[in-house]
Chain A
């Protein structure tokens, strides 16, 4: 009788605590991105400023550094400068940089490219289709995609030059 009472009480308490715990976890845990570590990177197609078609799938076998940015985002500017310094070196090692602007005007992106002296291609995400598919809410947002098309890391916010370098090194395909 006493055993049964303890059992019933424990079960009721556990059920309630689990429910409350799960609620708290949902509310306070670092929100998992729509696309996050371990997910397959959704394929997308964009055009660069010269109208060249680019499809993510075509880069399978290479590490891909997908960076979402805007001209008005200061941290993006810094990050893109670091990428400018290293992109050629890493392209030889099999790491590609895909720089996606979040729906600004072509003129702004072009001028930005000239002013900042960026040589790698810039893509404009018209209507934020790709940003939405990747669940991008704040900038800069970066997705590291390995040679198998799997997201290995999701990074939000400013990064130092070393951190960017580390990420690029991680992306070098192992084979």
Chain B
């Protein structure tokens, strides 16, 4: 591709509309007013179509493509909110049937199309990645030539350039043009324009840095996206969940088994309904209103001595009361209070009784720890109770066998075998006992095990969070806003005043807020003999003003 030489001597890249230096139109354009977008420079993307690299580059450089990517992202993102994402369906529900069950055919389709995990699907991530690439390439392709054009612009512009500006005026009835330009210069300087002079011509410019606003804004966006991308890198981001029973400790996942958390006490504090301060508000609520959720926790760390396993030794690091929005923080990890489970069963107490056997059962009372049950209970009067089977979370499985779903005592069932004094090993009475369940399993039993009490503990639910990307994302957001302000609250304006052999040429260009530019012209025109330029886009204007009465 050849360079285009302008009559002013400047070499312009192929595809340039207006000479970068003097502004002379290099291509015929329709209309009275020149297209000043990107200063009429050649957007590099549109000039080369050679290698595959250029093809890819040109594709992403297109603003049209960029806008389509944004539209697609908006549409698909909103589709993802139609039904809950998989991580938000009720715990324990099976996604394969849940969506159809709950939302019918549409839900089934939703699941089959993979919309239940939309935001981490490959095509959604690819769209986001394309947006990032498009941002980088499109910005580069526009920023570099625009920067160069504004940097190399000459004061003395070509007449064709000036005539094709939206604001243009000329006059040959001014006696001392140079003096008038001098006056204008002083006025514009007071208006804090940057003034450049060349051969008696004048360029007044103001707020050029606002032109970089969009690019600063894009840089912020790109940093923001990089921050989001880093979440997928190891060690950068963690979002896990843990449950800890009161009095127990659990490992904090993500710490390689290094840190543990003990739940000393979990409490829920309610607002006092007697308190006058809150009475009105509380009377409007349906039930009691929670004031605080709190886990009094102790952070433990594995000591370096002792092998992993039953010889692991833990040392206490610190005590902390974890409350909502007041996490326990250590080494980049934060433990947040997010959930709780009140009254998880922990102990059952039983007695033995009989209607047929005459014996003293008053001493027989035994407690089964549901998190570590004892195998046999022996009593002074010769009775023995054995636990044959224990199911913390009872269920009959597909093979019609009793089993447990997991190790959490949500629905505990115990099979007891009662041996009266002197009974043989195979003579025990077997019964299945659980909450509101008491069945004899081998015929009529003479003895009945009666549940007399249950102990419960509270369980706290914590979220383990580590996010090293947050500073990057915030930085991106801040830069985004700076660029946004830079491009919105300032605007670039330029005024050209030239003396062409006794004729005064006057033109102005602004990127937006033309009214402000017109006001500046008004000021110049009020205080000098320089005429007011006309807006060539006004329909009422027949043409360019030749003379202005005020100059006379």
Instruction: Please determine whether A28 and B388 come into contact, CB atoms closer than 8 angstroms.
Output: no
Instruction: Please determine whether B53 and A6 come into contact, CB atoms closer than 8 angstroms.
Output: yes
Instruction: Please determine whether A13 and B132 come into contact, CB atoms closer than 8 angstroms.
Output: no
Complex-state Cα separation, A16 to B229, whole angstroms: 11
B191 at the interface (CB under 8 A from A): no
For chain A, the bracket of interface size reads: 35 or more
Complex-state Cα separation, A44 to B302, whole angstroms: 14
From known contacts A72-B406, A111-B388, A130-B308, infer whether A105 and B372 are also in contact, taking CB-CB under 8 Å: yes
List of B residues within 8 angstroms of A107 by Cβ? 372-375, 387, 390
Instruction: Please determine whether B312 and A129 come into contact, CB atoms closer than 8 angstroms.
Output: yes
List of A residues within 8 angstroms of B54 by Cβ? 6, 9
A26 at the interface (CB under 8 A from B): yes
B454 at the interface (CB under 8 A from A): no
Complex-state Cα separation, A125 to B310, whole angstroms: 8
A126 at the interface (CB under 8 A from B): yes
Complex-state Cα separation, A6 to B49, whole angstroms: 11
Instruction: Please determine whether B375 and A129 come into contact, CB atoms closer than 8 angstroms.
Output: no
Instruction: Please determine whether A111 and B251 come into contact, CB atoms closer than 8 angstroms.
Output: no
Instruction: Please determine whether B309 and A46 come into contact, CB atoms closer than 8 angstroms.
Output: yes
Interface centre among A9, A16, A34, A44 (most CB of B within 10 A): A9
Cross-chain pair count, CB within 8 angstroms: 114
B307 at the interface (CB under 8 A from A): yes
On chain B, the number of residues with a Cβ less than 8 Å from chain A's Cβ atoms is: 51
Instruction: Please determine whether B307 and A72 come into contact, CB atoms closer than 8 angstroms.
Output: no
- For the residues of A in contact with B, the DSSP-based class is helix
B469, chain A: closest CB distance, angstroms: 12
Instruction: Please determine whether B232 and A44 come into contact, CB atoms closer than 8 angstroms.
Output: no
List of B residues within 8 angstroms of A126 by Cβ? 310
A108, chain B: closest CB distance, angstroms: 6
Complex-state Cα separation, A44 to B390, whole angstroms: 28
Query: Quick one: which of A20, A27, A47 contacts B310, CB cutoff 8 A?
Result: A47
- For the residues of B in contact with A, the DSSP-based class is mixed
A64, chain B: closest CB distance, angstroms: 14
Instruction: Please determine whether B311 and A45 come into contact, CB atoms closer than 8 angstroms.
Output: yes
List of B residues within 8 angstroms of A42 by Cβ? 308
List of A residues within 8 angstroms of B232 by Cβ? 23, 26-27
A118 at the interface (CB under 8 A from B): no
B122 at the interface (CB under 8 A from A): yes
A43 at the interface (CB under 8 A from B): yes
List of B residues within 8 angstroms of A152 by Cβ? none
Query: Quick one: which of A6, A23, A129 contacts B309, CB cutoff 8 A?
Result: A129
Instruction: Please determine whether B390 and A24 come into contact, CB atoms closer than 8 angstroms.
Output: no
Q: Which residue on B lies nearest to A130, using beta carbons?
A: B309
Instruction: Please determine whether B125 and A23 come into contact, CB atoms closer than 8 angstroms.
Output: yes
B265 at the interface (CB under 8 A from A): no
Query: Quick one: which of A9, A23, A129 contacts B229, CB cutoff 8 A?
Result: A23
Instruction: Please determine whether B403 and A125 come into contact, CB atoms closer than 8 angstroms.
Output: no
Instruction: Please determine whether A19 and B251 come into contact, CB atoms closer than 8 angstroms.
Output: no
Q: Which residue on B lies nearest to A70, using beta carbons?
A: B407
Complex-state Cα separation, A128 to B407, whole angstroms: 12
Q: What is the interface of chain B, defined by CB distance below 8 A to chain A? A: 44, 48, 51, 53-54, 56-57, 120, 122, 125, 129, 132-133, 136-137, 140, 226, 229, 232-234, 249-251, 253, 256-257, 260, 307-312, 371-375, 387-390, 392-393, 397, 403-407
Q: What are 7 pairs between A and B in contact, CB < 8 Å?
A: A20-B129, A24-B125, A28-B122, A102-B407, A106-B372, A107-B374, A108-B392
